[in-house]
A and B are shown apart, each in its own frame.
Chain A
Amino acid sequence: MSVVIAGAGMHPWGKWGRNFTEYGVHAAREALKDSGIAWADVDLVVGGETVRNGYAGYVAGSTFAQALGWNGARIATSYAACATGAQAIDTARARILAGMSEVALVVGADTTPKGFLAPNAGERWNDPDWLRFRLLGMTNPAYFALYARRRMDLYGATAEDFAQVKVKNARHGLENPYARFRKESSVEEVLASPMVSDPLHLLDICATSDGAAAVVLTSAEYARKHGIAAPVTVAAVSTVTPTFPNTVIDMPLLATDSSAVTGVPERTFKESIGQAAYEEAGIDPSDVDVAEVYDLSTALELDWIEDLQLCKRGEAEALLRAGDTTLGGRIPVNPSGGLACFGEAVPAQAIAQVCELTWQLQGRAEGRQVEGAKVGITANQGLFGHGSSVILSV
Protein backbone atom coordinates (compact mmCIF):
# COMPACT_ATOMS: atom_id res chain seq x y z
CA MET A 1 0.00 0.00 0.00
CA SER A 2 1.27 3.43 -0.77
CA VAL A 3 0.04 7.02 -0.66
CA VAL A 4 0.04 9.29 -3.69
CA ILE A 5 -0.32 12.97 -4.40
CA ALA A 6 -3.44 13.30 -6.53
CA GLY A 7 -3.27 17.07 -6.84
CA ALA A 8 -1.19 20.09 -5.86
CA GLY A 9 -2.08 23.76 -5.66
CA MET A 10 -0.62 27.02 -4.42
CA HIS A 11 -1.46 30.66 -3.89
CA PRO A 12 1.37 32.89 -5.16
CA TRP A 13 3.80 34.12 -2.49
CA GLY A 14 3.83 37.85 -1.76
CA LYS A 15 3.26 40.44 0.92
CA TRP A 16 -0.32 41.66 1.04
CA GLY A 17 -1.27 41.25 4.69
CA ARG A 18 -4.63 39.66 3.88
CA ASN A 19 -6.24 36.93 6.02
CA PHE A 20 -4.34 33.64 5.77
CA THR A 21 -7.61 31.75 5.27
CA GLU A 22 -8.08 33.44 1.90
CA TYR A 23 -4.70 32.19 0.69
CA GLY A 24 -5.33 28.72 2.11
CA VAL A 25 -8.73 28.27 0.50
CA HIS A 26 -7.31 29.41 -2.84
CA ALA A 27 -4.50 26.81 -2.63
CA ALA A 28 -6.92 24.10 -1.46
CA ARG A 29 -9.31 24.72 -4.36
CA GLU A 30 -6.39 24.71 -6.82
CA ALA A 31 -5.21 21.35 -5.43
CA LEU A 32 -8.72 19.87 -5.57
CA LYS A 33 -9.16 21.11 -9.15
CA ASP A 34 -5.77 19.61 -10.05
CA SER A 35 -6.84 16.25 -8.63
CA GLY A 36 -10.32 16.30 -10.15
CA ILE A 37 -11.70 15.22 -6.76
CA ALA A 38 -14.69 17.08 -5.32
CA TRP A 39 -14.49 18.80 -1.93
CA ALA A 40 -17.46 16.68 -0.83
CA ASP A 41 -15.27 13.57 -1.22
CA VAL A 42 -12.53 14.81 1.12
CA ASP A 43 -12.80 12.95 4.43
CA LEU A 44 -9.79 14.47 6.24
CA VAL A 45 -8.40 18.02 6.37
CA VAL A 46 -5.02 18.62 7.98
CA GLY A 47 -4.07 22.25 8.47
CA GLY A 48 -0.63 23.64 9.15
CA GLU A 49 -0.90 25.86 12.21
CA THR A 50 0.15 29.49 11.99
CA VAL A 51 1.10 31.08 15.30
CA ARG A 52 0.76 34.67 14.14
CA ASN A 53 -2.92 34.80 13.25
CA GLY A 54 -4.77 34.29 16.49
CA TYR A 55 -7.15 31.47 17.35
CA ALA A 56 -8.10 30.78 13.72
CA GLY A 57 -4.43 30.02 13.08
CA TYR A 58 -4.15 27.66 16.08
CA VAL A 59 -7.03 25.57 14.70
CA ALA A 60 -6.03 25.88 11.04
CA GLY A 61 -7.53 22.48 10.07
CA SER A 62 -10.90 23.64 11.34
CA THR A 63 -10.51 27.11 9.84
CA PHE A 64 -9.89 25.76 6.34
CA ALA A 65 -12.60 23.08 6.61
CA GLN A 66 -15.17 25.63 7.72
CA ALA A 67 -14.14 28.14 5.04
CA LEU A 68 -14.55 25.44 2.37
CA GLY A 69 -17.98 24.67 3.89
CA TRP A 70 -18.41 22.00 6.59
CA ASN A 71 -18.60 18.66 4.81
CA GLY A 72 -18.30 16.38 7.82
CA ALA A 73 -14.61 15.62 7.22
CA ARG A 74 -12.38 14.87 10.18
CA ILE A 75 -9.81 17.51 10.95
CA ALA A 76 -6.35 17.81 12.45
CA THR A 77 -3.91 20.68 12.94
CA SER A 78 -0.13 20.26 12.97
CA TYR A 79 2.56 22.48 14.35
CA ALA A 80 6.25 21.69 13.82
CA ALA A 81 7.81 25.12 13.16
CA CYS A 82 9.32 25.15 9.64
CA ALA A 83 8.46 21.44 9.26
CA THR A 84 4.77 22.09 9.95
CA GLY A 85 3.65 21.29 6.41
CA ALA A 86 5.56 18.02 6.26
CA GLN A 87 4.18 16.93 9.60
CA ALA A 88 0.68 17.71 8.31
CA ILE A 89 1.39 15.55 5.23
CA ASP A 90 2.69 12.80 7.52
CA THR A 91 -0.50 12.89 9.60
CA ALA A 92 -2.66 12.57 6.49
CA ARG A 93 -0.46 9.83 5.08
CA ALA A 94 -0.61 7.78 8.28
CA ARG A 95 -4.41 7.88 8.37
CA ILE A 96 -4.62 6.81 4.71
CA LEU A 97 -2.11 4.00 5.29
CA ALA A 98 -4.17 2.84 8.25
CA GLY A 99 -7.21 2.59 5.99
CA MET A 100 -8.99 5.31 7.96
CA SER A 101 -9.07 7.92 5.19
CA GLU A 102 -9.55 7.80 1.42
CA VAL A 103 -8.98 11.43 0.43
CA ALA A 104 -7.03 13.87 2.59
CA LEU A 105 -6.52 17.57 1.94
CA VAL A 106 -3.40 19.15 3.49
CA VAL A 107 -3.23 22.96 3.61
CA GLY A 108 -0.73 25.46 4.98
CA ALA A 109 -1.06 29.25 4.76
CA ASP A 110 0.45 32.26 6.47
CA THR A 111 0.51 36.03 6.71
CA THR A 112 3.80 37.33 8.08
CA PRO A 113 5.06 40.59 9.59
CA LYS A 114 7.91 42.63 8.09
CA GLY A 115 11.54 42.49 9.25
CA PHE A 116 13.33 40.18 11.72
CA LEU A 117 11.09 37.55 13.27
CA ALA A 118 10.99 38.75 16.90
CA PRO A 119 9.87 36.77 19.96
CA ASN A 120 6.45 37.21 21.56
CA ALA A 121 6.11 40.18 23.94
CA GLY A 122 6.63 40.00 27.72
CA GLU A 123 9.56 39.07 29.98
CA ARG A 124 10.32 35.36 29.90
CA TRP A 125 13.59 34.62 31.67
CA ASN A 126 13.25 30.86 31.14
CA ASP A 127 12.46 30.97 27.42
CA PRO A 128 15.56 30.52 25.23
CA ASP A 129 13.80 32.25 22.34
CA TRP A 130 13.42 35.37 24.53
CA LEU A 131 16.80 35.07 26.26
CA ARG A 132 18.80 34.89 23.02
CA PHE A 133 17.57 38.38 22.14
CA ARG A 134 17.75 39.84 25.67
CA LEU A 135 21.20 38.49 26.60
CA LEU A 136 22.97 38.22 23.25
CA GLY A 137 21.01 40.08 20.55
CA MET A 138 21.14 36.79 18.62
CA THR A 139 18.82 37.05 15.58
CA ASN A 140 17.91 34.28 13.14
CA PRO A 141 20.33 35.59 10.47
CA ALA A 142 23.13 35.48 13.07
CA TYR A 143 22.63 31.71 13.43
CA PHE A 144 22.67 31.34 9.62
CA ALA A 145 25.86 33.42 9.57
CA LEU A 146 27.59 31.07 12.05
CA TYR A 147 27.02 28.15 9.67
CA ALA A 148 28.10 30.25 6.68
CA ARG A 149 31.33 31.43 8.33
CA ARG A 150 32.20 27.87 9.31
CA ARG A 151 31.97 26.83 5.63
CA MET A 152 34.38 29.63 4.74
CA ASP A 153 36.96 28.75 7.38
CA LEU A 154 36.73 24.96 7.00
CA TYR A 155 36.00 24.44 3.29
CA GLY A 156 37.17 27.63 1.61
CA ALA A 157 33.74 28.92 0.66
CA THR A 158 33.71 32.55 -0.43
CA ALA A 159 31.18 35.36 -0.30
CA GLU A 160 31.05 35.00 -4.10
CA ASP A 161 29.99 31.35 -3.74
CA PHE A 162 27.12 32.34 -1.47
CA ALA A 163 26.11 35.09 -3.89
CA GLN A 164 26.23 32.57 -6.73
CA VAL A 165 23.57 30.47 -4.95
CA LYS A 166 21.31 33.54 -5.01
CA VAL A 167 22.08 34.16 -8.68
CA LYS A 168 21.26 30.54 -9.53
CA ASN A 169 18.01 30.46 -7.56
CA ALA A 170 16.91 33.86 -8.88
CA ARG A 171 17.33 32.51 -12.41
CA HIS A 172 15.46 29.29 -11.54
CA GLY A 173 12.49 31.22 -10.16
CA LEU A 174 12.11 33.61 -13.12
CA GLU A 175 9.39 31.51 -14.78
CA ASN A 176 7.72 30.28 -11.59
CA PRO A 177 4.27 31.91 -11.39
CA TYR A 178 4.12 31.29 -7.60
CA ALA A 179 7.44 32.98 -6.76
CA ARG A 180 7.34 36.40 -5.06
CA PHE A 181 10.68 37.66 -6.38
CA ARG A 182 11.12 37.04 -10.12
CA LYS A 183 14.14 39.06 -11.08
CA GLU A 184 17.68 38.12 -12.10
CA SER A 185 20.39 38.83 -9.56
CA SER A 186 24.14 39.23 -9.95
CA VAL A 187 27.06 38.41 -7.68
CA GLU A 188 27.94 42.12 -7.59
CA GLU A 189 24.41 43.04 -6.54
CA VAL A 190 24.43 40.52 -3.66
CA LEU A 191 27.86 41.66 -2.45
CA ALA A 192 26.78 45.31 -2.67
CA SER A 193 23.68 44.72 -0.54
CA PRO A 194 24.05 45.69 3.15
CA MET A 195 25.92 43.26 5.41
CA VAL A 196 23.44 41.93 7.99
CA SER A 197 25.51 39.38 9.91
CA ASP A 198 29.01 38.84 8.55
CA PRO A 199 29.47 37.09 6.09
CA LEU A 200 25.81 37.24 5.03
CA HIS A 201 24.43 40.18 3.06
CA LEU A 202 20.80 41.19 2.90
CA LEU A 203 20.37 39.35 -0.42
CA ASP A 204 21.86 36.16 1.07
CA ILE A 205 18.97 35.94 3.53
CA CYS A 206 15.40 34.96 2.70
CA ALA A 207 12.47 37.26 3.39
CA THR A 208 9.21 36.39 5.14
CA SER A 209 6.16 36.10 2.91
CA ASP A 210 2.45 35.51 2.69
CA GLY A 211 1.54 32.37 0.79
CA ALA A 212 -0.31 29.06 0.77
CA ALA A 213 0.18 25.55 -0.56
CA ALA A 214 -2.00 22.45 -0.56
CA VAL A 215 -1.90 18.84 -1.67
CA VAL A 216 -4.59 16.19 -2.05
CA LEU A 217 -3.45 12.75 -0.87
CA THR A 218 -5.13 9.42 -1.60
CA SER A 219 -4.18 5.77 -1.49
CA ALA A 220 -2.63 4.45 -4.70
CA GLU A 221 -5.64 2.16 -4.96
CA TYR A 222 -8.11 5.06 -4.79
CA ALA A 223 -6.11 6.92 -7.46
CA ARG A 224 -6.25 3.89 -9.77
CA LYS A 225 -9.97 3.34 -9.22
CA HIS A 226 -10.83 6.97 -9.86
CA GLY A 227 -8.52 7.45 -12.84
CA ILE A 228 -6.32 10.09 -11.19
CA ALA A 229 -3.92 11.36 -13.89
CA ALA A 230 -0.17 11.12 -13.15
CA PRO A 231 -0.23 10.36 -9.40
CA VAL A 232 3.11 10.89 -7.64
CA THR A 233 4.13 8.44 -4.92
CA VAL A 234 4.99 9.69 -1.46
CA ALA A 235 7.99 7.40 -0.91
CA ALA A 236 9.03 8.81 2.47
CA VAL A 237 8.17 11.50 5.01
CA SER A 238 10.92 11.84 7.59
CA THR A 239 10.15 13.96 10.64
CA VAL A 240 12.74 12.53 13.03
CA THR A 241 13.89 14.46 16.11
CA PRO A 242 17.56 14.89 17.06
CA THR A 243 19.46 12.10 18.77
CA PHE A 244 21.34 13.10 21.94
CA PRO A 245 23.78 14.75 21.97
CA ASN A 246 22.81 17.42 19.43
CA THR A 247 26.25 18.92 18.87
CA VAL A 248 25.42 21.60 16.27
CA ILE A 249 24.15 24.86 17.75
CA ASP A 250 20.46 25.16 16.88
CA MET A 251 18.26 28.23 16.72
CA PRO A 252 17.04 29.46 19.27
CA LEU A 253 19.34 27.73 21.78
CA LEU A 254 22.32 29.30 23.55
CA ALA A 255 24.38 26.11 23.74
CA THR A 256 24.62 22.59 22.35
CA ASP A 257 24.27 19.38 24.32
CA SER A 258 27.52 18.13 25.80
CA SER A 259 29.17 15.21 24.00
CA ALA A 260 31.36 14.37 27.03
CA VAL A 261 29.27 11.46 28.35
CA THR A 262 28.31 9.69 25.11
CA GLY A 263 30.70 11.01 22.45
CA VAL A 264 29.83 12.72 19.17
CA PRO A 265 26.97 10.95 17.33
CA GLU A 266 27.47 9.32 13.93
CA ARG A 267 25.20 11.85 12.21
CA THR A 268 24.22 15.43 12.88
CA PHE A 269 20.52 16.19 13.27
CA LYS A 270 20.21 17.49 9.72
CA GLU A 271 22.07 14.47 8.33
CA SER A 272 19.74 12.15 10.23
CA ILE A 273 16.64 13.83 8.74
CA GLY A 274 17.71 12.92 5.20
CA GLN A 275 19.09 9.52 6.16
CA ALA A 276 15.75 8.50 7.70
CA ALA A 277 13.99 9.52 4.46
CA TYR A 278 16.38 7.46 2.31
CA GLU A 279 15.93 4.42 4.56
CA GLU A 280 12.14 4.73 4.51
CA ALA A 281 12.07 5.09 0.71
CA GLY A 282 14.65 2.34 0.25
CA ILE A 283 16.72 4.45 -2.12
CA ASP A 284 20.22 5.82 -2.28
CA PRO A 285 21.22 9.50 -2.50
CA SER A 286 22.60 8.77 -5.99
CA ASP A 287 19.02 7.97 -7.12
CA VAL A 288 17.90 11.58 -6.52
CA ASP A 289 17.24 13.71 -9.63
CA VAL A 290 16.11 16.96 -8.03
CA ALA A 291 16.12 18.55 -4.56
CA GLU A 292 14.16 21.36 -2.90
CA VAL A 293 16.05 22.43 0.21
CA TYR A 294 15.52 25.16 2.81
CA ASP A 295 17.74 28.05 1.71
CA LEU A 296 16.94 30.35 4.63
CA SER A 297 20.35 31.67 3.64
CA THR A 298 22.35 31.06 0.48
CA ALA A 299 25.06 29.25 2.47
CA LEU A 300 22.50 26.97 4.08
CA GLU A 301 21.66 25.52 0.66
CA LEU A 302 25.27 24.31 0.47
CA ASP A 303 25.00 22.72 3.94
CA TRP A 304 21.80 20.88 2.92
CA ILE A 305 23.36 19.49 -0.27
CA GLU A 306 25.94 17.78 1.94
CA ASP A 307 23.48 16.86 4.70
CA LEU A 308 21.40 15.03 2.04
CA GLN A 309 24.58 13.22 0.88
CA LEU A 310 24.29 14.64 -2.64
CA CYS A 311 28.04 15.20 -2.36
CA LYS A 312 30.73 14.69 0.27
CA ARG A 313 31.17 17.12 3.19
CA GLY A 314 32.99 20.23 2.03
CA GLU A 315 32.34 19.67 -1.68
CA ALA A 316 29.13 21.65 -2.21
CA GLU A 317 31.01 24.72 -3.46
CA ALA A 318 32.70 22.60 -6.12
CA LEU A 319 29.27 21.31 -7.20
CA LEU A 320 27.92 24.85 -7.37
CA ARG A 321 30.91 26.19 -9.29
CA ALA A 322 30.66 23.35 -11.82
CA GLY A 323 27.00 24.19 -12.46
CA ASP A 324 25.88 20.77 -11.20
CA THR A 325 23.13 22.27 -9.02
CA THR A 326 21.80 24.52 -11.79
CA LEU A 327 18.92 23.51 -14.08
CA GLY A 328 20.47 21.27 -16.72
CA GLY A 329 23.20 20.16 -14.29
CA ARG A 330 23.74 16.77 -12.64
CA ILE A 331 21.55 17.41 -9.58
CA PRO A 332 19.48 20.62 -9.84
CA VAL A 333 18.77 22.15 -6.43
CA ASN A 334 15.80 24.47 -5.83
CA PRO A 335 14.44 24.59 -9.39
CA SER A 336 11.45 26.47 -7.93
CA GLY A 337 13.79 29.33 -7.08
CA GLY A 338 13.77 28.27 -3.42
CA LEU A 339 13.26 30.58 -0.48
CA ALA A 340 15.45 33.09 -2.31
CA CYS A 341 12.53 33.68 -4.70
CA PHE A 342 9.66 32.88 -2.34
CA GLY A 343 10.54 34.15 1.12
CA GLU A 344 9.34 31.96 3.96
CA ALA A 345 5.65 31.39 4.72
CA VAL A 346 6.27 28.97 7.59
CA PRO A 347 3.29 26.57 7.65
CA ALA A 348 3.03 26.55 3.84
CA GLN A 349 6.69 26.20 2.92
CA ALA A 350 7.27 22.47 3.38
CA ILE A 351 4.05 21.80 1.41
CA ALA A 352 5.23 24.20 -1.33
CA GLN A 353 8.43 22.14 -1.63
CA VAL A 354 6.26 19.06 -2.18
CA CYS A 355 4.06 20.87 -4.73
CA GLU A 356 7.15 21.84 -6.73
CA LEU A 357 8.51 18.29 -6.75
CA THR A 358 5.09 16.95 -7.74
CA TRP A 359 5.06 19.19 -10.81
CA GLN A 360 8.71 18.36 -11.55
CA LEU A 361 8.05 14.61 -11.48
CA GLN A 362 4.93 15.06 -13.64
CA GLY A 363 6.95 17.07 -16.16
CA ARG A 364 4.73 20.13 -15.63
CA ALA A 365 7.25 22.63 -14.19
CA GLU A 366 7.09 24.98 -17.13
CA GLY A 367 10.19 27.08 -17.68
CA ARG A 368 12.10 25.34 -14.87
CA GLN A 369 11.68 21.62 -15.67
CA VAL A 370 14.35 19.13 -14.59
CA GLU A 371 14.25 16.85 -17.62
CA GLY A 372 13.31 13.25 -16.88
CA ALA A 373 13.14 13.69 -13.10
CA LYS A 374 11.85 10.52 -11.41
CA VAL A 375 12.92 10.99 -7.78
CA GLY A 376 12.90 14.20 -5.76
CA ILE A 377 13.76 15.03 -2.15
CA THR A 378 12.90 17.97 0.11
CA ALA A 379 14.62 19.07 3.30
CA ASN A 380 14.01 21.61 6.00
CA GLN A 381 14.67 22.23 9.66
CA GLY A 382 12.71 24.23 12.21
CA LEU A 383 13.01 25.27 15.82
CA PHE A 384 12.90 22.91 18.80
CA GLY A 385 13.95 19.65 17.17
CA HIS A 386 11.65 19.82 14.19
CA GLY A 387 12.75 18.96 10.68
CA SER A 388 11.55 17.11 7.63
CA SER A 389 12.53 15.41 4.44
CA VAL A 390 10.00 14.15 1.92
CA ILE A 391 10.88 11.85 -0.97
CA LEU A 392 8.57 11.65 -3.98
CA SER A 393 8.91 9.27 -6.92
CA VAL A 394 7.20 8.24 -10.14
Chain B
Amino acid sequence: MTATPVIEGWFTTGDEPRLLASRCTSCSNVVFPPVSSDAGAAAFYCRNPACDGTEHDAVELSRRGRVWSYTDAQYQPPAPYVAPTDPFQPFALAAVELPEGIVVLGQVADGFGVADLVVGTEVELVVETLDVDESGERTIYRWKPVTGQGDNA
Protein backbone atom coordinates (compact mmCIF):
# COMPACT_ATOMS: atom_id res chain seq x y z
CA MET B 1 0.00 0.00 0.00
CA THR B 2 1.45 3.35 -1.00
CA ALA B 3 0.60 6.91 -0.04
CA THR B 4 -0.51 9.03 -2.98
CA PRO B 5 -1.81 12.60 -3.09
CA VAL B 6 -5.62 12.68 -3.22
CA ILE B 7 -5.32 15.20 -6.03
CA GLU B 8 -2.50 15.42 -8.56
CA GLY B 9 -0.34 18.51 -9.00
CA TRP B 10 -1.50 20.59 -6.03
CA PHE B 11 1.41 19.95 -3.68
CA THR B 12 4.84 18.33 -3.48
CA THR B 13 5.65 15.65 -0.93
CA GLY B 14 8.81 14.81 1.00
CA ASP B 15 10.39 16.44 4.04
CA GLU B 16 9.57 20.01 3.04
CA PRO B 17 6.34 19.86 1.04
CA ARG B 18 5.03 22.93 -0.76
CA LEU B 19 1.85 23.97 -2.54
CA LEU B 20 2.09 24.13 -6.33
CA ALA B 21 0.57 27.18 -8.00
CA SER B 22 0.35 28.50 -11.56
CA ARG B 23 2.10 31.76 -12.47
CA CYS B 24 0.99 33.73 -15.52
CA THR B 25 3.91 34.04 -17.97
CA SER B 26 2.73 37.54 -18.96
CA CYS B 27 1.95 39.35 -15.69
CA SER B 28 3.26 36.92 -13.01
CA ASN B 29 -0.13 36.67 -11.27
CA VAL B 30 -0.17 33.52 -9.17
CA VAL B 31 -3.23 31.28 -8.75
CA PHE B 32 -3.94 28.39 -6.45
CA PRO B 33 -5.31 25.75 -7.01
CA PRO B 34 -3.06 25.43 -10.09
CA VAL B 35 -4.52 25.73 -13.58
CA SER B 36 -5.66 22.30 -14.69
CA SER B 37 -5.58 21.13 -18.30
CA ASP B 38 -8.79 19.20 -17.59
CA ALA B 39 -10.75 22.21 -16.38
CA GLY B 40 -11.55 23.71 -19.77
CA ALA B 41 -10.38 26.89 -21.45
CA ALA B 42 -11.72 29.26 -18.77
CA ALA B 43 -9.09 27.98 -16.34
CA PHE B 44 -6.28 29.17 -18.61
CA TYR B 45 -7.31 32.81 -18.76
CA CYS B 46 -5.26 34.96 -16.41
CA ARG B 47 -7.52 36.40 -13.69
CA ASN B 48 -5.83 39.80 -13.82
CA PRO B 49 -8.27 41.96 -15.83
CA ALA B 50 -5.32 43.94 -17.22
CA CYS B 51 -3.72 40.80 -18.66
CA ASP B 52 -4.78 38.56 -21.53
CA GLY B 53 -2.23 35.84 -20.76
CA THR B 54 -3.12 32.17 -21.18
CA GLU B 55 0.21 30.50 -20.39
CA HIS B 56 1.30 29.53 -16.90
CA ASP B 57 4.43 28.20 -15.26
CA ALA B 58 4.25 25.86 -12.29
CA VAL B 59 5.71 27.48 -9.18
CA GLU B 60 6.06 26.47 -5.55
CA LEU B 61 4.45 28.71 -2.93
CA SER B 62 6.08 29.67 0.37
CA ARG B 63 5.87 26.87 2.87
CA ARG B 64 5.06 29.18 5.78
CA GLY B 65 2.29 31.68 6.27
CA ARG B 66 0.11 33.29 8.90
CA VAL B 67 -3.40 32.32 9.94
CA TRP B 68 -6.06 34.66 8.46
CA SER B 69 -8.77 32.80 10.36
CA TYR B 70 -9.67 29.32 11.57
CA THR B 71 -12.52 27.07 12.66
CA ASP B 72 -13.37 23.40 12.93
CA ALA B 73 -15.96 20.83 11.82
CA GLN B 74 -17.70 19.33 14.83
CA TYR B 75 -20.29 17.49 12.70
CA GLN B 76 -19.35 15.12 9.90
CA PRO B 77 -19.53 17.03 6.60
CA PRO B 78 -21.69 15.52 3.82
CA ALA B 79 -20.25 13.45 0.93
CA PRO B 80 -18.05 13.67 -1.03
CA TYR B 81 -16.20 14.18 2.27
CA VAL B 82 -14.86 10.81 3.43
CA ALA B 83 -14.54 10.40 7.20
CA PRO B 84 -11.19 8.71 7.98
CA THR B 85 -12.48 7.36 11.29
CA ASP B 86 -15.68 5.84 12.62
CA PRO B 87 -16.96 7.47 14.71
CA PHE B 88 -16.18 10.80 13.09
CA GLN B 89 -13.49 12.86 14.82
CA PRO B 90 -13.79 16.68 14.60
CA PHE B 91 -10.96 18.42 12.75
CA ALA B 92 -9.77 22.03 12.46
CA LEU B 93 -9.55 24.21 9.35
CA ALA B 94 -7.45 27.31 8.69
CA ALA B 95 -7.27 30.02 6.03
CA VAL B 96 -3.59 30.96 5.75
CA GLU B 97 -2.13 34.09 4.21
CA LEU B 98 1.07 33.41 2.28
CA PRO B 99 3.78 35.95 1.35
CA GLU B 100 2.54 35.66 -2.26
CA GLY B 101 -0.55 37.70 -1.19
CA ILE B 102 -2.88 34.71 -1.40
CA VAL B 103 -5.02 33.09 1.31
CA VAL B 104 -5.27 29.29 1.07
CA LEU B 105 -7.77 27.11 2.95
CA GLY B 106 -6.65 23.82 4.40
CA GLN B 107 -7.26 21.38 7.21
CA VAL B 108 -5.08 21.79 10.28
CA ALA B 109 -2.53 19.05 11.03
CA ASP B 110 -3.54 16.07 13.16
CA GLY B 111 -3.28 16.77 16.86
CA PHE B 112 -3.97 20.51 16.58
CA GLY B 113 -7.27 22.30 17.12
CA VAL B 114 -8.70 25.80 17.31
CA ALA B 115 -7.23 26.24 20.80
CA ASP B 116 -3.74 26.14 19.22
CA LEU B 117 -4.47 29.02 16.83
CA VAL B 118 -5.10 32.75 16.76
CA VAL B 119 -5.27 35.14 13.80
CA GLY B 120 -1.61 35.69 12.91
CA THR B 121 -0.27 32.33 14.14
CA GLU B 122 2.62 31.14 12.00
CA VAL B 123 1.95 27.79 10.32
CA GLU B 124 3.78 25.62 7.83
CA LEU B 125 2.69 23.12 5.21
CA VAL B 126 2.77 19.42 5.99
CA VAL B 127 1.36 16.42 4.11
CA GLU B 128 -0.77 13.92 6.02
CA THR B 129 -3.23 11.12 5.38
CA LEU B 130 -6.71 12.33 4.41
CA ASP B 131 -8.33 8.90 4.09
CA VAL B 132 -7.57 5.36 2.99
CA ASP B 133 -9.15 3.55 0.05
CA GLU B 134 -8.47 0.30 -1.85
CA SER B 135 -5.36 1.84 -3.47
CA GLY B 136 -3.86 2.89 -0.13
CA GLU B 137 -3.46 6.13 1.78
CA ARG B 138 -4.64 9.30 0.08
CA THR B 139 -2.66 12.31 1.28
CA ILE B 140 -3.52 16.01 1.53
CA TYR B 141 -1.66 19.22 2.43
CA ARG B 142 -2.38 20.60 5.89
CA TRP B 143 -1.36 23.58 8.03
CA LYS B 144 0.67 22.89 11.16
CA PRO B 145 1.40 25.53 13.81
CA VAL B 146 5.10 26.40 14.00
CA THR B 147 6.14 26.06 17.61
CA GLY B 148 9.41 26.78 19.38
CA GLN B 149 11.32 27.65 16.21
CA GLY B 150 11.39 31.41 16.46
CA ASP B 151 10.10 33.92 13.98
CA ASN B 152 12.10 33.06 10.89
CA ALA B 153 9.50 32.75 8.13
Contact = CB atoms under 8 A, between A and B. Distances in A.
Interface of A: 115-116, 118-119, 123, 125-126, 128, 130-139, 142, 145-150, 153-154, 194-200, 244-245, 247, 249, 253-262, 264
Contact of B48 (A154, A198, A262): A262
A125 B72 contact: no
B70 to A, nearest CB: 6
A249 B71 contact: no
Contacts, number: 144
Nearest to B30: A258
B71 A142 contact: yes
8 closest cross-chain pairs (CB), A and B: A145-B71, A153-B119, A259-B101, A118-B78, A260-B101, A137-B77, A126-B39, A146-B69
Contact of A249 (B28, B68, B100): B68
Residue in B6, B36, B81 with the greatest tally of chain A CB atoms within 10 Å: B81
A355 B152 CA distance: 55
Interface string B16-39: 000000000001111111001011
Interface in B38-60: 38-40, 43, 47-50
A149 B37 CA distance: 36
B74 interface: yes
Contacts of B93: 136-138, 142, 146
B118 interface: yes
Given A135-B140, A198-B72, A255-B33, A247 B78 contact: no
Contacts of B77: 116, 133, 137-139
A149 B72 CA distance: 11
Interface residues of B, number: 50
B144 to A, nearest CB: 15
A254 B33 contact: yes
Nearest to A134: B80
Contact of B68 (A134, A150, A254, A264): A150
A146 B40 CA distance: 31
Interface in B72-86: 72-82
A249 B75 contact: no
A63 B77 CA distance: 34
Interface in B97-153: 100-107, 114, 118-120, 130, 140
Given A249-B105, A259-B101, A149 B78 contact: no
Contact of A247 (B74, B79, B103): B103
A194 B47 CA distance: 40
B47 A125 contact: no
A249 B74 contact: no
A267 to B, nearest CB: 16
B95 A249 contact: yes
Contact of B81 (A133, A149, A249, A253): A133
Contacts of B33: 128, 131, 254-255
Given A116-B78, A244-B48, A255 B103 contact: yes
